[in-house]
Amino acid sequence: MVCVFALVVATSGAGYVLGSGSIVDIAGLCYTCTGTMMVAASANTLNQVFEIKNDAKMRRTMRRPLPSGRISPVHAAMWATSVGAAGTTLLACKANYLAAGLAASNLILYAFVYTPLKQIHHVNTWVGAVVGAIPPLLGWAAAASEVSLNSMILPAALYFWQLPHFMALAYLCRDDYIAGGYRMLSFADPSGKRTAWVSLRNCLYMLPLGLLAYNWGLTSGWFSFEASLLTTGLTIGASSFVLDPTHKSARRMFHGSLLYLPALMAGLILHRLPNQ
């Protein structure tokens, strides 16, 4: 959970910086990151409240506070409601209503659409990718008070990045997800071939993003070059998974995805052009 919160805060903060002009409002950045983190905490807590029985069946989640009985569901639900409302209010007061609306909408999408869908159909992974793509858009909206075409670069990268990342994870933890009752693509793909092809396809979708960031005036040309190199590296990892769909190749691609995202965001911020 700590890694999830860190990712949400980092991507919303990156979105805020990208949406800023020549000078970044540090106070506004802090308010935005704090509000986003609070709403994310609310959404994740509600997710765990709804999935207590499922989490109790999985090795990687059975020791969480709710399935282990350290916290009651009522306590967790009250905390989630309070922190979610507080985070949305903070964004509305210190950023703008657009950012607050995006945060509230994402909470609803995560807790009340994505969470139940995980037990119904493997399309949940694609819905979850939308959830993960919204924080950088929220950050941009908080800084610029609008959503524009070039604001979609980082959300698009987040969306496409999540597919190979979570496909690899679902393949590695296939038995655990089956035990928990979750419908993942790997559930009906014991060979891993379909899972690997989905991973590769979404890596290929990311290849033009660096060039688009430059053409749309978001970054300098250097980012286009760096992003192409990074995405090519991730694509090679996905290709290896396609050619040899094993735990070893899936783990290699998963680890590569962990390195890819922070490097890409660092490049975006380093080579960004002020938002006009």
Q: Which CATH superfamily is domain 150-276 in?
A: UbiA prenyltransferase (1.20.120.1780)
For residue range 62-93, what is the model confidence (pLDDT) as tens digits?
Answer: 788 888 888 898 999 999 999 999 999 999 99
For residue range 243-276, what is the model confidence (pLDDT) as tens digits?
Answer: 999 999 999 999 999 999 999 999 999 999 987 7
Domain ranges of the chain: 1-147, 150-276
User: Domain 1-147 is of which CATH architecture?
Assistant: Orthogonal Bundle (1.10)
Global confidence as pTM: 0.92
Distances (CA, A) of 9 to 136, 168, 188: 9, 23, 34
Q: Residue 107: CB partners within 8 Å, gap ≥ 6?
A: 39, 42, 43, 46, 84, 88
Give the CA diameter of the chain. 53
For residue range 4-54, what is the model confidence (pLDDT) as tens digits?
Answer: 778 899 999 999 999 998 899 999 999 999 999 999 999 999 988 998 888
Distance of CA 35 to the CA centre of its chain: 17
